[in-house]
Each structure stands twice: as C-alpha cells, then as structure tokens.
A and B are shown apart, each in its own frame.
Chain A
C-alpha cells in the first residue's frame, strides 16, 4: 500500500497505524508533529489512526531558525 511521507512515496503494510509508521522512521515521537491529509493529528491519537492508500503525511519538527 502506498502513502506519501514528506513528499516521497512509501510502501507500507495494510493496517499500519500512524504511531508504528512514525517509530519505523527512526524518530522520537515526542519530537515530531504529524499532519495527515492537511490536519494535525494529536500524538495520543496516532495509535488509533489506520493509514489508507494515498494518505499524505507530513512529519515535521522544530529546528533552529531566526
């Protein structure tokens, strides 16, 4: 099943939830903000969000900036 993560197509298993996907990206969940199909998904909901074909996910975090 294909989803788009940070602009790139990613192949994932059916019934993958958002928490598992984030963890598989080797990032600390507490440092990441997830925007799924242009809506921010609260971290406490990730485990209940099952991804579907064509979902567009942005995983962002704070970085240094002026």
Chain B
C-alpha cells in the first residue's frame, strides 16, 4: 500500500524535515542531513557580516535536498512577505516557512500576522508552510488563506520539551484534513517524534535536538527510525488504551484444580 505525503503538489517520500540552525560543524550537519534521508531542509536569510568571513551554508546542503527559506526575523506580515520575495528573486525557490515572531523569550508565532502573510504569499504563487501556535480557528484561517501545510509548535523553539501542546495538536490532526499537519518546534527526542507520528501527524520538523546532540549524525538516524516507526504504527491502527488489565492468554485451563 502506497503512503504518500503531498505538499504543494509535490510528493515527498520522507516525513522528516530538518532545520539547519545551531550546528557547530557544517560538515557534521551535512552528514546528518544525508543520514536522515530528508528531502527538505529549512534555512534563514540574514545580513552578511561585513567584519568577518561568512561561511556559505549552501556548500554543505546536498544538492538533491529542497531548500525552504524561513522568514525568521520577521516581526509582522509585511516583513515576512519581504523576506519571502527576496528569497525567491534570489533564486532560492518558492517554498517558504512563515515565521512571524514578536517575542524573544518564548519565540511564539503571531497567528494573526501569519495568516495575513500566508494570504499574500499564497496568492503570489508561493508554497506556504506557516509555523503557528496550535489554535483550531487560526489553522482553519490558514487553510482558507492558501497554506500548503500547517506547522503547529510542539513546544517552544529549541526547548527540547517535546509535545507540550499535544492535546491542541491532536485537535488539528483530527479537524484539519485539507492539508498536511507538520509538527515543528520543541521536539527533543525521537520518542516525541514517534508520538506525533503515531497520533497522525503527517511529518515533523526537527532542528535543535539533532544539532546539539553529542553525535548529531547518530541522532538524525534515531529520529529517522522513530518517524518511520510512528508512521507505520499509525497506519497499522493501534489498539486502545484501557483502564484495567486484559489477559494475554485464556483465563481457563490452568494447571491446578480450583
């Protein structure tokens, strides 16, 4: 049985998306990306440092991997739109992760501005993947605005806290069937990723947990296996949790007399 993930009309064979931030060693980052099997990575756009050498991150991203620029740094829809347009005109493609954040402590996304940016950019031909705070109404508005997928946060960016917002993410998975749901942010362990996939998430995006691991390449492999396991478990249809025990073998034929 075929199991496809389609985003913006494009089929992805792999449900593991990786962020490229925070890797201390770019060569290790490249190996982690290759080991993960990911087909899509995120990158950011920043002013170059005029005082020091600038490393070219593109040299460390395998050629067969699609780039998705994020609009990190944008404080409102207008700034997000500007970043997206610069990225596209620069030849970096039209896949864009909208990240509109106006809070430096928790890095929470502004759903309202995200919806506005999504509407403008989707109408302008971008494949828009908005990063959002899992609110059902905002998710519905993002779908209406033309989002190609919805990316609710699991917990705060970089926190490794896992799926703290699980019950709200579960609502989105249950209620939104027009576009894929990709859990993004705060995933700290492969078991978190497996949990998201078991519940029915369509993909996950992981950055910090891999970048800061003692062995990022190994951690990328662990995540890859967990994401695959979670997806297969979801498709296999897990049994329900119950309050009391249910014996594995018959409660008759015991080797004793009553």
Q: Which residues of A are interface residues toward B (Cβ below 8 A)?
A: 5-8, 25-28, 30-33, 35, 38, 40, 58-66
Q: A30-B56, A65-B42 are in contact. List 20 more A-B contacts (CB 8 A).
A: A6-B47, A6-B48, A26-B53, A27-B54, A31-B54, A32-B48, A33-B86, A40-B89, A40-B90, A60-B47, A61-B46, A61-B56, A63-B46, A63-B57, A64-B23, A64-B43, A65-B43, A65-B70, A66-B157, A66-B184
How many residues from B make CB contacts under 8 Å with A?
Answer: 36
Q: By the criterion CB–CB under 8 Å, are B208 and A66 in contact?
A: yes
Cβ < 8 Å to A, chain B residues 78-126: 82, 85-86, 89-90, 92
Q: Which residues of B are interface residues toward A (Cβ below 8 A)?
A: 19-23, 29, 42-48, 50, 53-54, 56-58, 67, 69-70, 72, 82, 85-86, 89-90, 92, 157-158, 184-185, 205, 207-208
Residues of the B chain whose Cβ atoms lie less than 8 Å from the Cβ of A66: 19-22, 42, 70, 72, 157-158, 184-185, 205, 207-208
Residues of the B chain whose Cβ atoms lie less than 8 Å from the Cβ of A8: 50
Q: A27-B54, A31-B58 are in contact. Are A63 and B45 (CB under 8 A)?
A: yes
Contact of A7 (CB < 8 Å), options: B20, B46, B47, B70: B47
Give the docked Cα–Cα distance between A46 and B131 (Å).
35
Give the docked Cα–Cα distance between A14 and B89 (Å).
28
Residues of the B chain whose Cβ atoms lie less than 8 Å from the Cβ of A30: 56
Give the docked Cα–Cα distance between A49 and B157 (Å).
41
Q: By the criterion CB–CB under 8 Å, are A62 and B70 in contact?
A: no
Taking the nearest CB of chain A, how far is it from the CB of B20, in angstroms? Answer: 4
Question: Across the two chains, which residue of chain A brings its CB closest to B44?
Answer: A65
Residues of the A chain whose Cβ atoms lie less than 8 Å from the Cβ of B43: 62-65
Residues of the B chain whose Cβ atoms lie less than 8 Å from the Cβ of A28: 54, 56
Q: By the criterion CB–CB under 8 Å, are B50 and A60 in contact?
A: no
Taking the nearest CB of chain B, how far is it from the CB of A51, in angstroms? Answer: 16
Taking the nearest CB of chain A, how far is it from the CB of B99, in angstroms? Answer: 8
Q: By the criterion CB–CB under 8 Å, are A31 and B56 in contact?
A: yes
